[in-house]
């Protein structure tokens, strides 16, 4: 994916790794939650994974979006330049 970004806009390797590692950690969390829930409920792990994935992709994204908007508003109001999202210095 990194090589599909235009060369003049391409993120440095460190920033790219940090961005992708957040996604990998989230996927691992969903995987282990799925394994744990399927052991508890004796349900089909595939259907539980689909439910977990859909909840993460919908409600999870809405919660993250609302949280980022709230924190961004507070950061702007307090003028904390070092806490702006997406600006790595």
Residues near 17 by Cβ (< 8 Å), separated by ≥ 6? none
CB count, 10 Å around CB of 72?
Answer: 14
User: Tens-digit pLDDT profile for the chain (89 aa)?
Assistant: 788 888 888 888 888 888 889 888 988 888 888 888 888 887 787 888 888 888 888 998 999 899 989 999 999 999 888 788 777 66
How far is 75 from 72, CA to CA, in rounded Å?
5
Q: Which residue has the tokens 């003049």?
A: 8
CA distance 88 to 18: 11
pTM, entire model: 0.58
């Amino acid at each position: 994916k990194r090589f599909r970004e235009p060369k003049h806009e391409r993120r440095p390797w460190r920033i790219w790794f940090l961005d992708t590692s957040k996604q990998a950690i989230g996927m691992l969390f969903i995987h282990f939650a799925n394994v744990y829930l399927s052991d508890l409920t004796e349900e089909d792990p595939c259907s539980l994974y689909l439910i977990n994935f859909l909840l993460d992709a919908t409600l999870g994204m809405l919660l993250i979006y609302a949280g980022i908007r709230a924190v961004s508003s507070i950061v702007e109001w307090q003028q904390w330049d070092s806490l702006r999202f997406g600006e790595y210095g």
